[in-house]
Amino acid sequence: MEIKIMIVDDHPMIIDGLKNMLRGYRHIRLIGAFNDGASLMADLPLQQPDVLLLDIQLPGTPGDELVPLILQQYPGIAVLALTNFNSTLYVNTMLRQGAKGYLLKTTRQPTLIHAIETVSQGGTYIEPALQDKLQQEQPQRHKHIYARLSLTIREKEILRLLAAGKSNQEIADSLFLGYNTVRNYRARIFTKLEVGSIGELVKKALTLGLGE
């Protein structure tokens, strides 16, 4: 059975490398490659892949925020995160948002193909090294992990800047976001972490390891 693939990554060399890795597998067909989420979303009404290889760190809307937007309209797409973030926090964030798999960009060709085949058939696939880390996490850390995961990757990024003393406007300028967008993110962060001031935010961030 043919598996249709799309790739979203802002590095052309990564896209070219993935094309080379997929070449030669007759049951896998690449139908689109994009440098950002906006280009992907513009093309999806015309055609949909079976599996979407999605980077997390993208210009504009980051990958973890794209996943629910994609799945709301196209629930049949199996999203496979492909990233440099070697962290169980990001694994859980992407899975919570609806991704079916998580791979590192250092993964080998057989692993990539196996992951694509697995998620296309409705399964879940996580990079083996990260799967081991997930299994080794201590139960007593679950409460803190849940609090950390309740924030999206963009919210964590803004949280770190807030904790560093940056103003809303400074954050907006550094992340190329609108002032009101940052203000909305800030309000959501305060609500999720149950804090009412920057001082409380910094203290909570340190407790949960979110200021790293």
Res. 88 pLDDT band, cuts 50 70 90? confident
Band of the pLDDT at 16, cuts 50, 70, 90?
Answer: very high
Q: Which two tokens stand for residue 69?
A: 């937007």
Write the DSSP string, 1-30. --EEEEEE-S-HHHHHHHHHHHTT-TTEEE
The answer to whether the CB of 27 falls within 8 A of the CB of 50 is no
Per-residue model confidence as pLDDT tens digits over 47-87: 999 999 999 989 888 898 899 999 999 999 999 999 998 88
Q: For the chain, what is the mean pLDDT?
A: 87
Element (H, E) at 118: helix 109-120
Domain spans, the chain? 3-135, 141-208
- Give pTM, 2 decimals: 0.69
Contact criterion met (CB below 8 Å) for 104 and 83: yes
The pLDDT-based confidence of 29 (bands split at 50, 70, 90) is very high
Whether residue 140 is predicted with pLDDT greater than 50 in this model: the reply is: no
- The per-residue pLDDT for range 145-180, each reduced to its tens digit, is 555 556 788 888 898 898 888 899 999 999 998 998
| Residue 75 CA, distance from chain mean position | 17
Q: Give the pLDDT score at 39.
A: 96
DSSP 152: -
Fold of 3-135: Rossmann fold (3.40.50)
What's the whole-number mean pLDDT along residues 79-108?
90
Highest mean pLDDT among 13-17, 125-129, 147-151, 197-201: 13-17
Q: 141-208: which CATH topology?
A: Arc Repressor Mutant, subunit A (1.10.10)
Please tell me which residue, 142 or 200, carries the higher pLDDT value.
200
